[in-house]
Chains A and B, each alone.
Chain A
Amino acid sequence: MMKKSLFVLALLANSLFAHTALMSCFNNGDNTITCEGGFSDGSSASGVKFFVLQNDKKILDTRMNEDSEVTFNIPSGSYSAVFDAGDGHQIHVKDDDITE
């Protein structure tokens, strides 16, 4: 496990600079949102930090799973989903932009 996460992150880190980070979010229609991340060269985003912000507070703080996805329950009120691939490579998706 240790080695796994170590290298998963290391290899991920490798792709941070050269490639553009991407994320899109969908409303699944069952009161959940799925956000999928990735990099412009097709690299997996599994293990990349992901959080949901509401009033500048993190109400969810996790990492992308092996499919480079995160599924979470829709919070009440406005929020934004953040894909955090490190130094200045963050993607914010606001709730308004997540369609069913």
Chain B
Amino acid sequence: MNNIKVALAGQPNCGKSTIFNLVSGIEQHIANYPGVTVDKKVGYFKYDNHKIEMVDLPGTYSFSSYSLEERVAKDFILDESPDVIVNVIDASNIKRNLYLTFQLLEIGIPVVVVLNMMDVAKRRDIEIDSKKISQMLNCPVVEASGAKGLGGKDIMKNIVATAKNKNSYQEFKINYDELEHHINSLEEKISKIALIQNKRWLAIKILESDSTIIQRVKKYEPSIEEFAKKEEDIFHERYDKDAVSFLASYRYDSADIIYHKALKEKNKDKQTLTQKVDKIILNRFLAIPILLFFMFMVYQISIVWGYKLTDYTWPILAAFKNIVIDILPQANFTDVPMITDFGIWMVNSANALMNYLPIFFILFALIAIMEDVGYMPRMAFILDRVFKKFGLHGQSTLPLVLGGAMVGGCAVPGVMSTKGIADDRARMATIFSVPYMNCLAKVPFYTLILGAFFKPDMAIMMFFISTITLFIAMIVAKLITSTILKTRETAPFLMELPPYHIPTFKGVIIRASQRVWVYIKKVVTIVLAVAVILFAMLQFPGLSDESKIKFEDKSSKALSFFDTKVKASIYYEEFDTKEEVSALLNYYDEYRTKRMTATSKDAAKRVDERFLLKNKTFYKYIKPKRDKEARKINKELRKLSSKRKAILRQIKNEKVENSILGMTGRAMEPVTQYAGFDWKINVAFLSSFAARESAVATLGSLYENNKADNMRAEEAMALNSGYTPLHATAIIIFMLLTPPCIATMIVVKMQTNSYKWMMFAIFFPIGLGIVLSSLVFTLGNIFSWSGFEAMTYFYVSVVLLTIAIALFPQKNINWNGGIKLKNKKEL
């Protein structure tokens, strides 16, 4: 059996992915190209005794080194030298697609041209003579329609046939007339170097100043750049033309010749269906409402309904967690082995992210549908003008909406959905802006503070809170795109609106599953790294010796109390040592956790049966039924269990308080005091972002622990307030800008592919939050503003700043100079 390596190339929106899915079946691999975030899709399949490996290159308009996608595509051709290149062309738009075809043909690797979307072309009465094209290009041309599932076999047949005849392939040459002489002399110059690629192609690329190729050739021929420059200069002097545009115009001309010889367009001036639909979708007045409607539907379906699905997927994760806990060593009363703590911590971190899977699956499927239909580029078109002023992109809309621009969303799917943004700078800016959106988790927090401090102004305050984040996000986007992201590449905004298509079910499902799979793989690796660091930050240096003695004392007191209570029992000998009591307690607690994850009556019954089987002696204490003696033990056991929980909680709190993270909270006090925060709030904010469950417990002990009363939290707050509404405003402002939660951090790392940017995403909002809340708090104190006044001033300033940025002239002037006068008097 022979292996055939195939590269699939084509312009964006030519239907490359549908062709890929058509021929490759389900068995596909998707990964990022090393060092970049461009997707790499590989499919393996067998045809006619040949094993075919097909790599789906990123969609590119041309084959220069301009964008990330183009570089990735070219590197693949150079490094992997495929046997065949399959070039997918949008049959309803042949002329423009052929430009890339000529570039591919020049590479020197046999090309198979696939005319995709033949059905669309037929519908538009475009007659294509594919035999003629095949004759003219001297390569196979296959008619296909990926969406309709037509042409797959033909493509495979031609790939195999072409690969078989690879050795008799005759070099494809475009005659570049006046430039030929220079191409030849460059070709001669590099004729002896060890690169295996077609030398003529390399020579042409060097003349086009293609940096990737020049770098590679330079290794063998260091003087190549100067040599090429000299040739170009001569050409320029002689004909007054630039080599790059000269080459391009020849390819366009060649495409034009094919178009005229092989195509007949009968209804050139008739409106296509796409144009008709666009009249509505892109209508000046309807475009925004329609866009909002679609955004709302995406939000509703993926986030609201997707969340409901987690009720069904969660038990699977819970089962996984239970398996891990079963393996880990058990606690000896209040001595929990660190390995157990660590194991549970890791599983919790991973599960928290895995819980998003249903949401992601729906979200990615919806994005795939919108891409296939052709709505995504239109969305960008509609909003691009507004967003561009802030360094964002029309395609930033979806991430911002999912992050919570409207109703409260979640940053994790928001950041995940930035993948589709072609403009690298805008993509990065969007990743860093999304976490400012009001996620649903923050909303109850605001309601609580507003209820306590801003009762009369609640509605207007909520309005401030829900709208201000969008303005802040835009300002931040502007700030970072004009500073640290300044040197990032921006893709030229090629506004090509593809015709509308009906998406294929298979394609959508495959794409959604692939993206979800990439997410799972990443979560597993990144969670390991981040969770380990955070665990260490919370664990070390740990308890002092003094505290250790204190807690040991508490434990033994609790145990001996239990002992005296149950001494009289007839079952006493079953638990008269510490080890036995611990085992019983673990059994009891384990039973309760398992019961909690059992959602149905049947499942509960199965848990019961399992525990009865596991330890019949202990079982009677968790389910005493009519046994009076056992019931007494059960009661004491419950008491002991909550005592243990209380001690464990205290230990945990003290650990967190003295941990590296806790010390950071103290260290921050000199700074945060200007915002009215003391170290306890610092720790609370810090640990809330690191580990919610420990934060809740931490605060319980950090503050005076009165017995729980039934007072509503809002009332309690307003009554016992050491806080003024101004404090509350500072807290709200900080919360608005608060750093993303751990899950968001991890997806930021995934999307930016760098820990450096992840750290930036954490510390920049913290810094900004501290600065702004301190500013407002300090000014408020000086001018004795009320909390509401302070918030109003803050809001108005932010809005004014946003408007100022939007109105600031954006047109970059690309030239300067003129006659420079040293002395104005000379005029």
Contacts and interface: CB of A to CB of B under 8 A. Distances in A.
B743 A8 contact: no
- The main secondary structure of chain A at its interface with chain B is mixed
B597 A10 contact: no
A3 B400 CA distance: 32
Nearest to B718: A2
B706 interface: yes
Contacts of A97: 601, 604
Interface in B424-478: 439-445, 448-449, 452
Interface in B343-373: 344, 348-349, 351-352, 355-356
Nearest to A34: B638
B722 interface: yes
A14 B741 contact: yes
Contacts of B355: 18-20, 40-41
Contacts of A57: none
Interface in A45-100: 46-47, 62-63, 65-67, 69, 86-87, 97, 99-100
Given A8-B696, A11-B696, A40 B708 contact: no
Interface in A3-59: 3-20, 22-24, 26, 28-30, 34, 36, 38, 40-44, 46-47
A8 B718 CA distance: 16
Contacts, number: 168
A10 B448 contact: yes
B776 interface: no
Contact of A99 (B410, B596, B604, B634): B604
- The main secondary structure of chain B at its interface with chain A is helix
B416 to A, nearest CB: 13
Q: Assign chain A's interface to a size class.
A: 35 or more
A10 B736 CA distance: 13
A17 B696 CA distance: 16
A61 to B, nearest CB: 8
Contacts of B351: 40-42
B167 interface: no
Contacts of A7: 681, 684, 688, 695, 699
B383 interface: no
Nearest to B626: A29
Among B440, B596, B645, B718, which residue has the most Cβ atoms of chain A within 10 A? B596
B583 interface: no
Interface string B575-602: 0000000000000000010011110010
Contact of B318 (A36, A40, A87, A100): A40
A12 B545 CA distance: 32
B537 interface: no
Given A12-B696, A66-B708, A2 B716 contact: yes
B720 interface: yes
Given A1-B703, A12-B696, A17-B439, 5 more contacts: A11-B696, A14-B692, A43-B696, A44-B697, A66-B700
29 contacts: A1-B704, A2-B718, A2-B721, A2-B722, A3-B722, A7-B688, A8-B700, A9-B444, A9-B713, A10-B444, A10-B448, A12-B696, A13-B441, A13-B442, A15-B441, A16-B440, A17-B439, A17-B440, A18-B352, A19-B352, A28-B635, A29-B625, A40-B314, A40-B352, A44-B693, A63-B708, A65-B708, A66-B645, A66-B697
